[in-house]
Structure 1
Amino acid sequence: MAPEMPAFDRNDLGKGSFGQYKWGLAPNNARVRLRLAGSNPHQETLSELLASGDELETAITRRNQQQDAEDAPIEVRLFTGSRVTGPVGWVPRGLEAIVDEALSRLDMAGKRTRIPVDIIRKGGLLRVELLMGETL
């Protein structure tokens, strides 16, 4: 049985589309972004990170075979260069393969398996966007 993903507010479901990716789940261009779901409870952490001005990257690993078979959700933490934060959101359901493939592509290219991140303000709240286009 797959681990349960928490329920999110309807304005906090994340955003992304397979239409932004070509064969092999590579982003169509360098501007492709994926917005995390479940960031509402983490506004204080996100506000502190935004104020710090630190360069942010994901601190997640690829799902193992068992997690992939269970379709386990992917919780995202951020790496600030000196520390790893607590959770700041989840990869939107159904889009886990895109993140897994990006991590694999970075690993195979001999790069750090971290996806660059941007914190944006949307609807008066802070949101986390993975800069998927920068994983090319």
Structure 2
Amino acid sequence: MLFRRRGGDPGFPKGDRGRGSLDDYKFDLLPAGSGTTIRLAGSDPHQDLLRDIADAVVIETAIARRTADEERTDAPIPVRLFIDGRIVGPVGRVPRGLEGVVAEALSRLDQAGRKPRIPVEVVRTRQGLRVDLRMGETR
């Protein structure tokens, strides 16, 4: 489509809406490429925490499964991070419309016998620090 919106949560300021698209995934919500990422929305209030953890070597998500009630009401998915054996956060949330992609990735990792944690990268942008979920590494 010519005027397709590339994700983002309109409930946040323009520089903090997150980013991602369902176009980056195959029919079964498997990432189409190894470089596929989702940028979290709502990271502005967590800049101090992100500054403290930005230089960590291994950062992964610590996302709780949605309850049936949260699933039914389409509640946002807050993202916490697992760093050096401890959980910190939240540091943002999955942008609207991409919750199913993240839930499917966690299920896929769990079924494969791997830890249900998505690799993360903290990136510096002009708007501040942002969190990218490296979805392509969950294939």
Closer/same/farther in 2, CA of residues 118 and 84 from structure 1, 3 Å limit: same
Once residues 119 and 64 of structure 1 are traced to their aligned partners in structure 2, the CA distance between those partners, rounded to angstroms, is 28
1:23 paired with 2:14, answer no
Unaligned runs of 5+ in 2: 1-8
Once residues 124 and 64 of structure 1 are traced to their aligned partners in structure 2, the CA distance between those partners, rounded to angstroms, is 33
Which residue is 1:38 aligned to? 42
Q: CA RMSD in A?
A: 1.6
Once residues 97 and 124 of structure 1 are traced to their aligned partners in structure 2, the CA distance between those partners, rounded to angstroms, is 27
Q: TM-score, normalised by structure 2?
A: 0.89
Unaligned runs of 5+ in 1: none
2:122 to 116, 119, 133: 119
Which residue is 1:132 aligned to? 135
Percent of aligned pairs sharing the same letter: 51
Once residues 124 and 9 of structure 1 are traced to their aligned partners in structure 2, the CA distance between those partners, rounded to angstroms, is 10
Amino acid at match of 2:81: L
Displaced runs of 4 or more, over 2 A: none
Once residues 68 and 107 of structure 2 are traced to their aligned partners in structure 1, the CA distance between those partners, rounded to angstroms, is 14
Once residues 73 and 124 of structure 1 are traced to their aligned partners in structure 2, the CA distance between those partners, rounded to angstroms, is 22
Give the secondary-structure state (helix, strand or coil) at the position aligned to 1:118: strand
Q: TM-score, normalised by structure 1?
A: 0.91
1:75 paired with 2:78, answer yes
